[in-house]
Each structure stands twice: as C-alpha cells, then as structure tokens.
Structure 1
Amino acid sequence: MALDEKTQLPVAPRTPTNTAARTAWHQRRPKHPVIFTVLLIVSVLMVLPFAELVISSLRSTNAVNEDTWLPSVFEWSNYKKVVTLIPFWRFARNSVVLSALFALLTTLSSAVVGYGFARLRAPGKNLLFGLLISTMMVPQIVTLIPTYLLFANFGLVGTYWPWVLWGTAGAPYAIFLYRQFFSSFPKELEEAAVIDGAGRIRIFVQIFLPLSRPLLVTAFVLAFNTVWGDFIAPNLLLDQDNTTLAVGVGNGYVINQGFPLPNLIAGGALLYVVPVVILFLAAQRSYVRGFANSGLKG
C-alpha cells in the first residue's frame, strides 16, 4: 500500500472510477459561478410570465380572480373552448399564409437591395442608404393613417395586397444585414465570376445567395415574426373573414355582455405563441449565425 509522503501513513489507492467521477464533476461545474447564478435568476424571471400564462389558462371562469397562485381545479376544457369559441384554425391559417408570404418576399427583395448597396457603385448610394436606415426610427403608428388612406384609394383594404407590396419593397433592417454581409465578400470572388462570363444576376443567384443561407433564415424569421405578432395593421386593413390570429385572440373571447374572458384569452395567447417558438427553435442555429456573419458581433 502506498504511503503519504508527509505523514508516512498508508493511503488508499485512487480507483479509476473515483477519478473519472471527480474529473466529470469538475468538467460539469460552471467556471464562473457568479455569472451562472445571475443568468439562472434572469432565466427564471423570464420564464415566470409564461408559467403564469399557463396557470391562468387553466383557471375556471369563476376562479379568475382567486388569490391563490395555483387554481383549485385545472380546467383543461378551456383549450377546447379556445379553438371552438372563435374560428381559431381559420385565423391560424390566415396568419401562416400572410406571415410566410410577407417573409418570403421580404427576404428575397431585401437580399437584392442589400446586394446593390454592397457591391454596386452609383452616385448618392451612401446618401440613399442613410435615408433607408433612418426610416427604421419612424414608428409605425406615424404612417398608419396615411398608409390606410393610400390603400383605401386603390381599393386594397380587405385584401392581402398591402403585405405583398410591403414585402416586395423589402425591410430596412434586413437590407442592412444583407449589406453588411455582402460587403465582407472579397472582390476576387466576383472578378473571377465575371471572367467566366457570369453577369450580375448569375453572380447574385449562384454565388451570393448560396453563401448567405444563415442570413436568409434570419431575415425570414424576423419578417415572419413581424407579421405574426402584428395586431394593428390586420385589425385596420383586413375583414373579419380573412383577419389574422392576433386579431382573433385579442377580440374574440368575450361573453354576451361584452366582458372579456381572461382565462380563454390566456389559453388563446398560449396557443398563439407556440408556432413562433417552434420556428425559432428550429432555426436557432442559423438565426444566431446570421447575426454573427452580418458583422453585428463585437
């Protein structure tokens, strides 16, 4: 048996199992416990509203104002009422179609404009880009009434054409991301394609777009969430038949006297956010990589 060098007392040999377990524990232990604790507290605080939403959706109508945190009886039938009290699935289909259409058009049109700002030379290009970025600071509520009057004059109210036109025009934040990303491409790559006989459109489609897949996903997710979470524009420009789920959840869960039903509103809101969460989780890796590749990281 081995002896301790200082005390000359026998020391039990370290078994491989104990050594491996100790090594694994040290590897799992956070290197910065203070930062880890702060992040854990912040994460819990961010999850609490979502947990309260779930709990509120399971309360009965008579127990909405209870002082207890957990309801005495969980009303799982509330979710059946959520999807039957209003045409929930029709509104959800409208939201998916409208959001996906706008996101696809915005992603492609913004890529074209971003490529132009990044790779083409033209007088006043920087001034135009500055004006484009300045529009990001204009609140939507400022242009809401003029936009409504403009679409009403052309007979587009009650249709999806406003979102088609908005998507075709691109989005300033997406154009900025594409411009930052495309500006980092070496000139030699473009010059080699020109020598091979490729034109601007072919260079854009066959070289720049395939290399910008993470950014394409990022722009698509951002544009999709913009329309999915919008309440004001669909409420103003669409009819009751073709409106979105945001308007249906916000206005549909009321009783005959006009009073809202908080438990059903909570249940509808919970089902309303599920598709967006699934979309983000599915595109999370490309989403983060798109921001990193666009030059936004420090």
Structure 2
Amino acid sequence: MTVTKSAHVAQPPVTEPRRHTTAKKRRQQGMTYVLLLALAVFFVGPFIWLVLAALKTPAEWGSLPIQILPEQAQWNNFVRAVSDMNFMAYALNSLFLATVYSVLITLSSAAVGFGFARLRAPGKRALFFILLSTMMIPQILTLLPTYVMFSQIGLINTYWPWVLWGLAASPFLVFLFRQFFATLPRSLEEAAILDGAGWARIFVTIFLPLSRPVLITSFLLSFTATWGDYIAPALLLDLDRTTLAVAITAWYQDPAGNVIPTIQAAAAVLYILPVLVIFFFAQRYFIQSAVSSGVKG
C-alpha cells in the first residue's frame, strides 16, 4: 500500500522582525504622504487665496474678521481686469520678450555647454569654475550698473537689453547643458568627424536634437522667469512698452486713486494661468531633464 504525501507544504509563520519591518515601512510611507500633502497645501494655498480674493467685493476684501469665502462670486472682476486696461497689449509685450529671450538664451547656453562638455582646451576647467562662481552674485548688485551701461548706449525703453541678455547665455543653463552633453558617448562626434563634419554641424545635427528634454526645460525656466520679472521692465521700459507684470500694479484704481485689490487679484490670476498651463503640459520634460543631467565630472 502506497502512502501519498500531501502536496500542501506548511508555510513558516511570519516572524516578529518581519512584522516589525512591515509596520515601520507603512509608518514611513504614511509620514511621507503627510509631508507631501502639507507641501502641496503650502504651495497651492496662496494661489487658492488669490482666486478667492478675485471673487470678492472690495468690502469683503477689507472686512474684519477675515472672510474667506465670498458671499456671491464676483465674476465681473475678471471682465473688468481685461477691459479696464489694454490687457492683451501688455500680455503680448510680455509674450514677445519672454519668447525672444528664452529662445536666444537656450541656444546660446546650449552652445557654451557643448563647448565645455566636448571640446578640449587649456584652462577649460578654470574657466568653467569662474562661470559657475558668477551664479553666487545677486542680480540686484548688477542691476544699476547694467542700467547705466544701457542708458549710455541708448537702449533704455527698447527691447534690445533682453536680446543681449539672451545672447550672453546663463551660467545655470550652461551647467545644465554641460552635464547632459558630458553623458553622451564620444563615439557620436568621432563618427561624424570621420565623415567630415565640423563641430558646428556636429552640435546642430547630432547633439542639439538629442537634448530635447533639456532644451524644453531651459526654455520653460527662462520663459517663466522673464514672464514673471518685474524689476527689469519697471527699470528699463516706460508704461506704454512695459510688460503685464508692471501694468497690473499701475492700473485698476478708483476715481480717488486708490487701488481696487479685487480687480488686481483677478488680473493676477489671469497673469498666472498661462504659466500653470505650460508647466502642466511640460512637467514630464522637467523630470527627464533632471534624470538625464545628473552631476558628472
């Protein structure tokens, strides 16, 4: 008589250390989610407050105690924000400046980053260190000397300063492109050189198309910085040629000359929305750029 063995094999009991490790991981995940939620509220909270302020009446805005929600949404504030001044003209000024500057500084920074990453020259490391050290100089320190320089050559109240700034490249973006180009294999330019291609052709036809995530990230960072800049347009441009950021602070006043904060808040919401939309559709390129531009010596 043959005795058949059971196919069922008893599982060893879960040990106490394993249970402790699982519970610890769950607590860590819970703390991470709570931290992320707190950061989300911290960053989104001001924008939500701005939207609520744009839907209030001036009386609700200045009421004490503070009234968080409006009794009735004042959607007409957004209509007045567009109609009380030439909103679209100032928006087009901002769009033109931001686009021209972003395109120029992206291409110039990519070219300089390519040179630091792929070309060999004596003193290249020292020059790259000097370039990075300029990132520690606050922009406010160079603003007045820049204004004096532009005034002496007759560029005040023109858009040429943004063109010159764009052609000068950005130390941070140069570093970003340099780190990305340094990760690519040497065989790329070696094969192109054997085919008779020069460095300019190698940069334009090979390296520039491969750097699309970094190009998009560089363009978006430059665009949002220029779109949101207030100091340079206020210093260099008059009210007719200035950007939307400056115009919002100069308009929206009552007959007594007092600022109407609710309409100004509505204009600020409309001013922020394009940047939010652009970032929402391009956020994956930020992630790709961060991954592909890791620090490399």
Q: Please state whether the residue corresponding to 2:70 is helix, strand or coil.
A: coil
2:238 is aligned to 239
1:101 is aligned to 100
Separation of aligned partners in 2, 1:241 and 1:261: 21
CA contact (8 A) 1:218 1:291 kept: no
2:161 is aligned to 162
Write out per-residue CA displacement over residues 107-142 of structure 1, whole angstroms, 9 at most, x where no aligned residue. Answer: 101110111111111222112111111111111111
Separation of aligned partners in 2, 1:176 and 1:202: 22
| Structural mapping, 1:59-98, within 5 Å | 59-66=56-63, 67-98=66-97
Write out per-residue CA displacement over residues 224-263 of structure 1, whole angstroms, 9 at most, x where no aligned residue. Answer: 0111110000001112111101001122222233322211
Separation of aligned partners in 2, 1:54 and 1:296: 39
Write out per-residue CA displacement over residues 195-217 of structure 1, whole angstroms, 9 at most, x where no aligned residue. Answer: 11111111111110111000000
Greater mean alpha carbon deviation, residues 170-179 or residues 246-255: 246-255
Separation of aligned partners in 1, 2:113 and 2:84: 45
Select 1:52's aligned residue among 45, 49, 52.
49
Q: Give the partner amino acid of 2:77.
A: N
Separation of aligned partners in 2, 1:205 and 1:69: 54
2:292 is aligned to 293
1:65 Cα deviation from its structure 2 partner = 1.2
Write out per-residue CA displacement over residues 251-289 of structure 1, whole angstroms, 9 at most, x where no aligned residue. Answer: 222223332221112111111110111111121111221
Q: Give the partner amino acid of 2:51.
A: V
Q: Give the partner amino acid of 1:36.
A: Y
Q: How many residues align?
A: 269
Separation of aligned partners in 1, 2:261 and 2:132: 40
Separation of aligned partners in 1, 2:67 and 2:249: 26
Q: Please state whether the residue corresponding to 2:71 is helix, strand or coil.
A: coil
1:41 is aligned to 38
Distance 1:288 1:296, change over 3 A: farther
CA contact (8 A) 2:60 2:67 kept: no
> Are 2:124 and 1:125 equivalent residues in the alignment?
yes
1:181 is aligned to 180
1:31 Cα deviation from its structure 2 partner = 9.2
Separation of aligned partners in 2, 1:31 and 1:143: 46
Q: Please state whether the residue corresponding to 1:32 is helix, strand or coil.
A: helix
Write out per-residue CA displacement over residues 4-45 of structure 1, whole angstroms, 9 at most, x where no aligned residue. Answer: xxxxxxxxxxxxxxxxxxxxxxxxx99923322321232123
Q: Give the partner amino acid of 2:182.
A: S
Q: Please state whether the residue corresponding to 1:255 is helix, strand or coil.
A: coil
1:9 is aligned to none
Q: Please state whether the residue corresponding to 1:283 is helix, strand or coil.
A: helix
Greater mean alpha carbon deviation, residues 251-260 or residues 178-187: 251-260
* Percent of aligned pairs sharing the same letter: 49
1:49 Cα deviation from its structure 2 partner = 1.5
CA contact (8 A) 1:58 1:75 kept: yes
CA contact (8 A) 1:107 1:220 kept: yes
1:296 Cα deviation from its structure 2 partner = 4.9
**Unaligned 5+ runs, structure 1:** 1-28
Greater mean alpha carbon deviation, residues 211-220 or residues 33-42: 33-42
Separation of aligned partners in 1, 2:292 and 2:38: 30
Distance 1:296 1:71, change over 3 A: farther
Separation of aligned partners in 2, 1:192 and 1:73: 68
CA contact (8 A) 1:231 1:246 kept: yes
Write out per-residue CA displacement over residues 134-192 of structure 1, whole angstroms, 9 at most, x where no aligned residue. Answer: 11111111111110111111111111000000001111111000111111121122111
Distance 1:285 1:296, change over 3 A: farther
1:18 is aligned to none
Q: Please state whether the residue corresponding to 2:188 is helix, strand or coil.
A: helix
Separation of aligned partners in 1, 2:149 and 2:28: 58
> Are 2:245 and 1:251 equivalent residues in the alignment?
no
Separation of aligned partners in 2, 1:186 and 1:151: 43
Separation of aligned partners in 2, 1:201 and 1:228: 31
1:146 is aligned to 145
Q: Please state whether the residue corresponding to 2:161 is helix, strand or coil.
A: helix
Q: Give the partner amino acid of 1:49.
A: P
